[in-house]
Amino acid sequence: MPRDLGQLGLGDEQLARHIAWDIGVAALGEALATALDAVFIRQRYSRLVIDCNRDPHSPQAMAEVSDGTAIPGNRGLTPAARAARIAEVHAPYHAAIAAELERRDRAGHESVIVSLHSFTPVMGRDARPWQIGILHDGGDACFALSCLRSLESQRDLIIGNNQPYRMDATDYTVPRHAYAARRPYVEIEMRQDLMGSAQGQGVCLAAVRGALEESWPPSHPPGG
């Protein structure tokens, strides 16, 4: 949390929950980047400060309630307070992604955007059986669909196709950086009971790395 925001009125126990961060993603992203010689760009601030996978002007970007928990420090934000979070946290994150893509373009390297997230085993009263989910929608989804087929071939894992979420208008990062440029992409969701342990992270690392390597180089549809 930025020092001037304190803990947004929440205790340590609440900040350890999934509402404040994507459990396990930092460790997995670093391991994948090392294994694949890739660039890993992660947001170090809590998504309760501002969710960088949401349009910064959406009410969901600085949520007043997350999974039934009130976030006192997000209530009644002034336009100036919202603008400060956008300028200090959201904008630099997306500028870093754009700059890396531009650097690779100038060097003549083809790029694929891999967006990593984790999700809870249960939401409300609904159990989520999927261990890894592949999200896709607009733009050039061929790479994402190739990753989906690769993971589905691994019979020891339960794979979700646009589960537990469908990539839609609420997503921001992939649509912003991939769709118009027709960049290959995949958004990967991993269940947090796997991601919360070193053993489970190892399972996810092996599965996701295999799918990414098998799907590279990306194929494109005719005229794409």
Tens digit of each residue's pLDDT (9 = 90 or more) over 89-105:
999 999 999 999 999 99
- Number of domains the chain is built from: 1
Question: 208 in a domain, yes or no?
Answer: yes
> Which among 3, 35, 2 has a CA at the least distance from the CA of 206?
35
In the prediction, which pLDDT does 196 show? 85
CA 25, 28, 30, 32 torsion-angle sign: negative
Query: In CATH, what number is assigned to the domain containing residue 173?
Result: 3.40.630.40
Question: 28 in a domain, yes or no?
Answer: yes
Average pLDDT of adjacent 10-residue blocks, the chain of 224 residues: 96 96 95 96 97 96 96 97 98 98 96 96 92 96 97 93 92 96 97 90 95 88 47
| Predicted TM-score (pTM) of this structure | 0.94
Question: 82 in a domain, yes or no?
Answer: yes
Give pLDDT tens digits for 23-70: 999 999 999 999 999 999 999 999 999 999 999 999 999 999 999 999
Question: 156 in a domain, yes or no?
Answer: yes
Asked if 190 and 204 count as a contact pair (C-beta separation under 8 A), the reply is yes
Question: 222 in a domain, yes or no?
Answer: no
Question: 221 in a domain, yes or no?
Answer: no
H or E stretch covering 17: none
- Where do the H-state alpha helices sit in the chain? 12-15, 25-36, 79-85, 91-106, 142-152, 173-174, 192-195, 198-215
Give the residue numbers spanning the domain of 12.
3-215
Question: 142 in a domain, yes or no?
Answer: yes
Amino acid at 44: R
Question: 223 in a domain, yes or no?
Answer: no
